[in-house]
Amino acid sequence: MTHSPLLQARVRTLRHEAEGVLSIELVPVDGAHFPAFSAGSHVNLHLPNGLTRSYSLLNSTDEVDRYVLGVLCDPNSRGGSRYVHESLRCATVLPISAPRNNFELAADAEDSVLIAGGIGVTPILCMYRQLRARGKAARVVYCARSRRQAAFLDEFAALGGDIELWFDDEHGGQPFDLATFLAAQPKHVHAYCCGPLPMLAAFEAGCAASGIANAHVERFAADPALTHVPTSGYVVYLKRSDRTIEVPDDQRLLDMLLAAGVNCDYSCGEGICGACETTVLDGEPEHRDCVLSEAEKTAGRSMMICVSGAKNGGRLVLDL
């Protein structure tokens, strides 16, 4: 895949939005406009500590002079969100990727349901802004463990409309009943969900049981059932580099490429952000990502090299 050059962005504001949640407002360093983005998009931040992390854009898609992100300080942080909360400062210049969208909004759909869990609210807020601006029917369900952990409540209140808030601690610790809610929705609805893995599993099960075909999810963590699968060794030929890389049993292709000094884009390392998407010139990939559609996986023209490999230990030819 061809990747756009990095953009230079300055941190203009850092704002406390809720317990454990900061928003980051980024503006172009050179005073020009940022590339336009669509609702559901994310950007990759290249942090000063050497890590790259993906965060969803939450501001209006009409704004081209700034990007706004929301970042939860994850107690299991591997160094990304912790750095943002503890060390990032206003005026810092960060290289960032151009926006990429793996969670596209069907903006012309006549009926949409948007379901957010915790920090999963960030792309949902952006989607809701656009649907409200277009006068489309849209319902929001925003769930959090407590009201104090729910970010951007004021922004939802300003937008108005059909918004249901659910805080577990105000309901005896019980989660929102997604199955019942989805069963009451029309089958033609476009339903979107972003949140923790248990919520996504309940959402997908509820959509399947309710006959909702237009179901869309955004993951902030990989599905263990996809990524933790034993693999056989295989060989990869890099066409542009004219190099052959051997990938041993149960090893990641990305790790072998980096160890061999191959320059390749990557970010999450979990098959959820799409930064490492690479063109497949020959061979059959075994896909373990949460980015490509089933049709794209079947076509086999690209793969996420951070988690995917070669099917049945075959040989792959990549455009690297």
Burial of 78 (0-12, 13-18, 19+ CB in 10 A): exposed
Give domain status of residue 170, yes or no: yes
Q: How far does Cα 105 stand from its chain's mean position?
A: 13
Q: Compute the distance between CA of residue 71 and CA of residue 22 in angstroms, rounded to an integer.
A: 5
Could you tell me if 12 and 97 lie in one domain?
yes
Take residue 81 and report the two structure tokens written for it: 């969100």
Q: Write the CATH number for 211.
A: 3.40.50.80
- pLDDT tens-place values along the chain, 320 residues long: 555 689 999 999 999 999 999 999 999 998 789 999 999 999 999 999 988 889 999 999 999 899 999 999 988 777 889 999 999 999 999 999 999 999 999 999 999 999 999 999 999 999 999 999 999 999 999 999 999 999 999 999 999 999 999 999 999 999 999 999 999 999 999 999 999 999 999 999 999 999 999 999 998 776 666 656 667 899 999 999 999 999 999 899 999 999 999 988 887 888 888 889 999 999 999 999 888 888 899 999 999 999 999 998 899 999 99
Write down which residue in 219, 238, 269 finishes a domain: 219
Round the CA-based radius of gyration of the chain to a whole number and report it.
Answer: 20
Could you tell me if 234 and 210 lie in one domain?
no
CA distances from 17 to 27, 56, 100, 147, 196 (A): 19, 15, 24, 12, 19
Q: Write the CATH number for 23.
A: 2.40.30.10
Write down which residue in 49, 80, 101 finishes a domain: 101
Give domain status of residue 65, yes or no: yes
Give domain status of residue 244, yes or no: yes
Could you tell me if 163 and 194 lie in one domain?
yes
Residue 293: predicted pLDDT: 80
Residue of 42, 214, 11 lying closest to 122 (CA atoms): 42
Could you tell me if 38 and 88 lie in one domain?
yes
Residue 271: predicted pLDDT: 87
* Adjacent-strand bridge partners of 214: 190
**Amino acid in the structure at residue 158:** A
**Residue 240 per-residue DSSP state:** T
Could you tell me if 115 and 214 lie in one domain?
yes
DSSP per-residue codes, 126-164: HHHHHHHHTT-EEEEEEEESSGGG-TTHHHHHHH-SEEE
- Which structural domain range is residue 40 located in? 7-101
* Adjacent-strand bridge partners of 15: 23
In total, how many domains does the chain have? Answer: 3
Give domain status of residue 44, yes or no: yes
Give domain status of residue 1, yes or no: no
CA distances from 71 to 55, 77, 151, 169 (A): 7, 11, 10, 22
Write down which residue in 80, 101, 122 finishes a domain: 101
